Amino acid sequence: MQKQIGRLEKFFNMSINKLKDELMSSKMILNNMRGSRSAFSVALNNSPAMAFYGPFSSDNIIKYKHVFINLGDGYNVETGIFTVPRSGVYSLSVTVYSSARVSLSNCVTLQVNSKNVADAIEKSGQDLEDSTSVVVAVQLNAGDQLSARLHQGCSLSDDINHYNTFTGFLLYASD
């Protein structure tokens, strides 16, 4: 009987140690997943009255001031630039809107490291407002810098309804 109790105790201790190892491994995986989360979504402003941005005499990086989410702190409100914290595939989108009150053309380029990736341009002049969006999935490296650049002579209009947004998030890490 004593031998059987000893074997059961040994088996029980082995089982407990395996469960502890599995728990530790699961905690490490969860912490790694949490550490790799990266998402930002910003809007031009949060003004109760319609505010206008542009037109300017040269291209300008848009500095979105209203932050919905900045998970991982990659978006810098002062510069309007998102710095990629982790290499991987990201979903990026920019939506732009302008009204005829200032300039009826919105023309924005989504850029990675100052190189054009996609354009969101609407210059119809057929009505009193223009809007457009672009969504892309791109492979990015840690340290890459994303921005939305307003073209010379174009303008944006925004208020608390957040017509102008810039969003990006990590779909999956590649490192």
Q: Looking at the structure, do residues 159 and 83 belong to the same domain, yes or no? A: yes
Q: Looking at the structure, do residues 152 and 104 belong to the same domain, yes or no? A: yes
CATH code, 120:
2.60.120.40
How far apart (Å, rounded) are the C-alpha atoms in residues 119 and 109?
4
What the block records as the tokens of 97 is: 């809107």
Nearest to 51 by CA among 1, 101, 122, 114: 101
Token look-up 């319609």 returns 50
pLDDT at 42: 98
User: To the nearest whole number, what is the mean pLDDT of the chain?
Assistant: 88
Q: What is the mean pLDDT of residues 136-145?
A: 96
Q: Looking at the structure, do residues 57 and 113 belong to the same domain, yes or no? A: yes
**% of the chain exceeding 90 in pLDDT:** 54
What the block records as the tokens of 46 is: 């949060």
Q: Looking at the structure, do residues 12 and 91 belong to the same domain, yes or no? A: no
Q: Grade residue 77 by pLDDT with cuts at 50, 70 and 90.
A: very high
How far apart (Å, rounded) are the C-alpha atoms in residues 11 and 19?
12
- Secondary structure (3-state) at 42: strand
| pLDDT at residue 47 tops 70 | yes
pLDDT at 52: 87
Domain count, the chain: 2
Q: Grade residue 131 by pLDDT with cuts at 50, 70 and 90.
A: confident
pLDDT at 104: 59
- Cβ pair 157, 51 in contact under 8 A: yes
Residue range of the domain that includes 29: 1-35
pLDDT at 161: 94
Q: Grade residue 89 by pLDDT with cuts at 50, 70 and 90.
A: very high
pLDDT at 36: 67
Q: Looking at the structure, do residues 49 and 116 belong to the same domain, yes or no? A: yes
- Cβ pair 71, 40 in contact under 8 A: yes
Q: Looking at the structure, do residues 91 and 115 belong to the same domain, yes or no? A: yes
Q: Looking at the structure, do residues 60 and 123 belong to the same domain, yes or no? A: yes
pLDDT: which is higher, 31 or 116: 116
Q: Looking at the structure, do residues 15 and 76 belong to the same domain, yes or no? A: no
